[in-house]
Structure 1
Amino acid sequence: MAYMIISGLLCGAALGFVMQRGRFCLTGGFRDMYLAKNNRIFYALLLAIAIQSIGVFLLMDLGVFEYSAGAFPIVSVIIGSYIFGIGIILAGGCATGTWYRAGEGLIGSWIALAGYMLMSTIMKSGVLAPFNQKFQQVGVLPANSIPDTIGINHWFLVIPFAAIVGFILYKQFTKPKIAIPTLKPKRTGLAHILFEKRWNPFATASLIGIIAFLAWPLSAATGRVFGLGITTPSANILQYLTTGDSTFINWGVFLVLGIFAGSFIAAKGSNEFRFRMPDVKTGINSFIGGNLMGVGASLAGGCSIGNGLVMTAVMTWQGWIGLLFMILGTWTASYFVYVRPRQKAKSVKLEKQPASV
């Protein structure tokens, strides 16, 4: 039990600290792919996936642990991931982003987190559990693993994928640099690097990939053979609080609590922590978004981390198809939340302009 608590909290704290300081937000990254045609965070995500994938398959080949991806509930993954993508735009952050931004003191993220935990619990063990279970049985394909489906060794996917990511990084680092003015540092040494210096997204992604890789053996040592996960542990917290059943306490619970703690430490150290109350509209959107996140992640069997970072790294259909439809969901919501209101505002402005004589 002591190992579970310490390793879970430390792994989560490291992830929360790195994500907060690196401002690693997949919601913003997916949104910017559509609105700003900026793929930088998405490329960083691919780097984190590649690092984790190499490490995890090496451990499995060495016999450190065994993992089976099982069957592939394609219908629930597609629909759930799409709903989740819509939800994270309304909530203002994905599952991990909501936890780490709550650690910054953002009350809107607390509201989204409440909706997310509540609906995840309802979907997993509440009145909607039978619906969730039956829906996940619709259109199930026998093999979730891409290498098993194709009939090849996993390294024939991992190595080319890592090579593609390496080429993308080469193209990114050889682009002309844009000079960004920086203020004179107030701190020196390690304090400057940790709490003041602007973090490069690819350096941040490299650290996230390493943490995601380490999560596998740390978690497997407690009997939970999986890597980073947010949705089920978030639901487990509420399930434990309402039932007192200690079986809901696992490595993942301490992971998500660690994310909150690590983000708080990072935000306090960089003087970014402060309580920020959202307006009524933002608060309502956050709660609705959190509920959609809970529904979507429960149906899809994972969130932006569970599917988008972890299940992609072990080369499953669930991970990559889930990631695709998650992105499509964020683009759909971005159109209605950002693009369409601007178009309407522009149209109204043109209508109010006096006609030329």
Structure 2
Amino acid sequence: MLISGLIIGAALGFVLQRGRFCVTGAFRDIWIAKNTWWLSAFFVAIAVQSVGVWVLDALGVITLSASDFPWLATILGGFIFGFGIVLAGGCATGTYYRAAEGLVGSWFALLFYALFASISKYGPLGSTTEALRGITVEGQGTLHETFNVSPWLLVALLVVGTTLWARHHITKPRLKFATLPPEKTGLAHVLFEKAWNPFVTAAVVGLIAIAAWPASWATGRESGLGITTPSANIATYLTTGDVELVDWGVFLVLGIFVGSLIAALGSGEFKLRVPDAQTIVRSIAGGALMGVGAAWAGGCTIGNALVGTSTFSWQGWVSLVVMILGTGVAAKLFIAPRKKTAAPAQVPAGV
């Protein structure tokens, strides 16, 4: 059954790469481009998954349960992770699919992300992670627990709110750019050449996330999509040889890389690109911050911001907010100054 992780991961990696589904970009655009186009698409994935997981719970296929809310670790870790993804040039899944496209900077980010996630979960920083995550609000792990309402009420609010938000963006006119004549036809054109709609991509991501739940549970791993712990497990397995660490999640992240590589090769977007020294240093720092932050927060943009939010955990929603704040601070420090420097000079009227 572990092979299902590889299959689902490959499907996810393919969709992420071809749909250019970048959560870092969604968070960054709020601060730099002053728009929420991609963030609203991300919420489509959350809403689709939320409907699916609560149906699975109602049918008894999975059992969603709440745990105490580790508020301090979530806030600190989420902010650090959000800051780090700007330096790394991508979040957890974004780093995987960009590494598969041949971006050498993402190789460094991915390596240090996995390494520092392992250090923070199983190594020298493990006790720090455990201590931080031990500071909790007991019996208040989910929003529906806190407000004493049915989770289905929250599902309905999420779906309605997301639909209105997405509709707002879909109905707004967008700039159209000239495109080259298609070289492929039929399914090959759709899969490897045609630009994918962000909202369709998001819906497919949500469906894949739903499929991950029963597939993962069938192997004894009682959770859905997750990137940080599997990445840490890979790093730890390579240094210890402990085969018990090789679970469904490990196959999932390996599949993400494989699926992204297939998509990049098929679309002609694979190309080895070696960045300058400054970018490599930032990628390493960003990857390390991602690993520590995700370990403290209990998840990344997938485990918390996509999956945790769909089950209405406080950890998921609070980490989503502080990740966005961390991204904003890093964007203001590292991206905004570059954009000002690169801005074209104003030409006087009449010249």
TM-score, structure 1 as length reference:
0.94
Task: Determine which of 17, 27, 44 is the counterpart of 2:24.
Answer: 27
Residue 56 in structure 1 maps to residue 82 in structure 2: no
* Residue in structure 1 matched with residue 349 of structure 2 by the alignment: none
Give the drift of 1:142. Answer: 2.7
Is 1:304 the equivalent of 2:332? no
Partner of 2:208: 211
1:91 aligns with 2:88: yes
1:293 aligns with 2:290: yes
The answer to whether residue 173 in structure 2 is matched with residue 164 in structure 1 is: no
Q: Given the superposition, is the C-alpha separation of residues 345 and 110 from structure 1 closer, same or farther in structure 2, using an over 3 Å criterion?
A: closer
Give the structure-2-normalised TM-score. Answer: 0.95
> Deviation string for 1:150-172 (max 9, x for gaps)?
11110011011101111122222
Q: Which residue of 1 aligns with 2:5?
A: 8
1:226 aligned to 2:223?
A: yes
1:140 aligns to what SS in structure 2?
A: coil
Alignment match, 1:197? 194
* AA aligned opposite 2:74: V
- Listed as ranges, the matches of 1:107-256 within 5 Å are 107-256=104-253
1:40 alignment partner in structure 2: 37
- Tell me, in whole angstroms, the C-alpha distance in 2 between the residues paired with 1:7 and 1:185: 34
Backbone CA RMSD of aligned residues:
1.5
Which ranges of structure 2 fall in alignment gaps of 5 or more residues? 346-351
| Contact 2:88–2:109 (CA under 8 A) maintained in structure 1 | yes
Shift of 1:33: 1.2
Gaps of 5+ in 1: 350-357
> Is the CA contact (8 Å cut-off) linking 1:87 and 1:292 kept in structure 2?
yes
Using the TM superposition, give the Cα deviation of residue 141 of structure 1 relative to its aligned residue in structure 2, in angstroms.
Answer: 3.7
Q: What do residues 164-213 of structure 1 show as CA deviations (whole Å, max 9, x unaligned)?
A: 11112222222235333221100100000000001110011011000011
Deviates more, 1:203-212 or 1:144-153: 144-153
Letter of the 1:268 counterpart:
L
Q: 1:339 aligns with which of 330, 336, 340?
A: 336
Is 1:259–2:256 an aligned residue pair? yes
Q: Which amino acid aligns with 2:233?
A: N
Q: Distance in 1 between matches of 2:91 and 2:74?
A: 17
For 1:138 and 1:315, locate their aligned partners in 2 and report how far apart those are by CA, in whole Å: 20
Q: Aligned residue for 1:328?
A: 325
1:212 alignment partner, SS class: helix
Decide whether the 8 Å contact of 1:74 with 1:141 is kept in 2.
no
CA, structure 1 residues 134+32, in 2 after alignment: closer, same or farther (shift >3 Å)?
same
Residue pair 1:67, 1:225 contacting (<8 A) in 2 also: no
**Percent identical:** 53
Aligned-partner Cα distance in 1 for 2:178–2:228:
39
